[in-house]
Amino acid sequence: MEFTIQDPLIILAVGMLVVIGGIIGLRLHAFLALLLGAFIVSFLTPDGALQIFAESKGMTEGATQALISTDIGLRIAREFGNTCGKIGLLIAMASIIGKCMLESGGAEKIVRSILKVSGVDKAPWSFLGSSFFIGIPVFFDTVFYLMVPLAKAMAMKIGKNYLLLILSITAGAAMANSLVPPTPGPLFLISEMNIPIGLMMVGGISVGLVTIVAGYAYAAWANKKWPIPLRDSIDAPLDQIKSLSEDNAKLPPLWFSVLPILIPVLLITLKAVTDTFFAGHSSMLFTIIDFLGEKNLALVLGAASALLMLIQFNSGDKNTKSSAQAALMSAGVIILITAAGGAFGAMLQQTGISTRISDLTQGYQMALIPLAFLIAAVVRTAQGSATVAMITASGILSGVATTMTLEYHMLYIGLAVACGSKLIPWMNDSGFWIVCKMSNLTEQEALKTFSPMLTIMGIVGLLVTMLAAKLFPLV
């Protein structure tokens, strides 16, 4: 006999209890806890909720009935595979890039170059600014993959501030990902709310720069209160990083060292620019950019350049094959946990949690800017995806806002939605697991450092947006 719960909010609470309790209380591996949470959430979800979810996605009647009749295990497996398909190759290639940059001395060369320009004290600021501007055209996870080996090499070089370097990377990349087009969330938002892309870019960068300063302040405080050392890992053992940072190490030239990062960043950026500003144009150049700028291929090319650098400048005693094998072993665990988190988040979405939140906010007579922030924050916390939170909140509010006479531009509602999508990252967010596993933080450490930092930045973004709407209404 099937046992279900009608209210998705209750199912959400049960799912949160299972995952958090399993990881922290029962000491289950994150992969097992997330899968268990996905199975329980799916088991408790009634057929009616699945039908509502399917209708909200625009599925046909046949597709809706097929979803309802699909076994729980198969539904979870499909979403597990969908998430793996989105991030699996990216993580694998990024792990190879990181491993090769460490073993070849490329990461060490970049770190030394940064230190010459910024000095030791300002190195975290360099990471913060770099990740923000790289994160405008490049997805958060890709930026994090590319910069983690630099953070490890830098932490080994200066002997401190590993947590501050990691949080600086996440602060910059996370805010750019939600605030500044052409990433998917902001692109959908501006199309739904009829906000000019140029205006959103200027507004997003302006608000983003303020929020990352606030995030940095929290990161610096957390780094002093809970100093976290650079830890051993399969892909980057401490003794190996230390041996590669000796002054007499044979390092590759700077231009070669930055290629594994520069190649994917430039290709992805060029594709984003052409897709945004030159859509519909056809020429050989645009075709080549479109082909090479696909993020998976761009990372493959970056990994190829990293392997070439390792072949020429391998300063360790391992060969290229064993280095790639170690990187892929580490990537496999990260892929499993991230895909399980994606499956858990998808099962929460199938409960109809977004529709339930929409119903609760109908007719809620509150100022639209904080309301937009609140809706996005609740959806993000419930199902884990910042992009889904932005899509849901903008869908709810676009119709409401267009029926009212606003005293400010719709840009500010869009910015509030983007800032709200940062609250609150936890175990149902694949990005949470990427940060945890690639930086070797424990779940508890991430929950008291990474999660509060993004929450603080989101709240600061809301306050800045409300102030800007009052001072510069743009109408």
**pLDDT tens-digit profile of 430-471?**
788 888 888 888 888 999 999 999 999 999 999 999 999 989
Higher pLDDT: 140 or 210? It is 210
Reported as half-sphere exposure (CB side, CA atoms, 13 A), residue 383 has a value of 26
Confidence of residue 358 (pLDDT cuts 50, 70, 90): low
Highest mean pLDDT among 40-44, 205-209, 310-314, 434-438: 205-209
Mean pLDDT, residues 307-320: 73
Residue 471 lies in a domain: no
Give the least confident one: 114-128, 156-170, 395-409. Answer: 395-409
pTM: 0.72
Q: Among 110, 223, 214, which residue's Cα sits nearest to residue 172? A: 214
Residue 365 lies in a domain: no
Q: pLDDT at position 3, please?
A: 57
pLDDT at 190 over 60: yes
Angle between helices 123-134 and 106-118 (to 10 degrees): 110
Give the least confident one: 33-47, 161-175, 316-330. Answer: 316-330
Q: Among 414, 360, 339, which residue's Cα sits nearest to residue 8? A: 360
Give the separation between CA 456 and CA 425, rounded to whole angstroms. Answer: 12
Q: pLDDT at position 364, please?
A: 52
Residue 35 lies in a domain: no
Q: In this prediction, what percent of the chain has a pLDDT beyond 90?
A: 16
pLDDT at 26 over 90: no
Mean pLDDT, residues 283-308: 87
pLDDT at 20 over 70: yes
Which structural domain range is residue 127 located in?
A: 83-185+197-335
pLDDT at 261 over 50: yes
Confidence of residue 275 (pLDDT cuts 50, 70, 90): confident
Handedness of CA 93, 449, 181, 150 (dihedral sign): negative
pLDDT at 1 over 50: no
Q: pLDDT at position 359, please?
A: 66
Mean pLDDT, residues 314-342: 73
Confidence of residue 414 (pLDDT cuts 50, 70, 90): very high
**What's the distance, Cα to Cα, between the start and end of the chain in Å?**
59
pLDDT at 259 over 50: yes
Q: Which long-range contacts (CB under 8 A, 24 or more apart) does 14-18 make?
A: 14/40, 14/41, 14/44, 15/40, 15/41, 15/344, 15/347, 15/348, 15/428, 16/426, 16/428
Residue 129 lies in a domain: yes
Mean pLDDT, residues 137-161: 80
pLDDT at 133 over 70: yes
Question: Mean pLDDT over all residues of the chain?
Answer: 81
Q: pLDDT at position 92, please?
A: 84
Higher pLDDT: 64 or 345? It is 64
Model confidence pLDDT, tens digit, residues 215-243: 999 999 999 999 988 876 656 666 666 66
Give the separation between CA 313 and CA 252, rounded to whole angstroms. Answer: 6
Highest mean pLDDT among 80-84, 213-217, 358-362: 213-217
Does the N-terminal peptide bond of residue 169 adopt cis geometry, omega within 30 degrees of 0? no
Domain count of the chain? Answer: 1
Confidence of residue 12 (pLDDT cuts 50, 70, 90): confident
Confidence of residue 365 (pLDDT cuts 50, 70, 90): very low
pLDDT at 103 over 90: no
Confidence of residue 168 (pLDDT cuts 50, 70, 90): very high
CB 337 within 8 A of CB 91: no
Residue 110 lies in a domain: yes
Residue 402 lies in a domain: no
Residue 225 lies in a domain: yes
CB 418 within 8 A of CB 205: no
Mean pLDDT, residues 5-27: 79
Highest mean pLDDT among 97-111, 179-193, 210-224: 210-224
Confidence of residue 395 (pLDDT cuts 50, 70, 90): low
Give the separation between CA 78 and CA 84, rounded to whole angstroms. Answer: 10
pLDDT at 50 over 80: yes
Residue 273 lies in a domain: yes
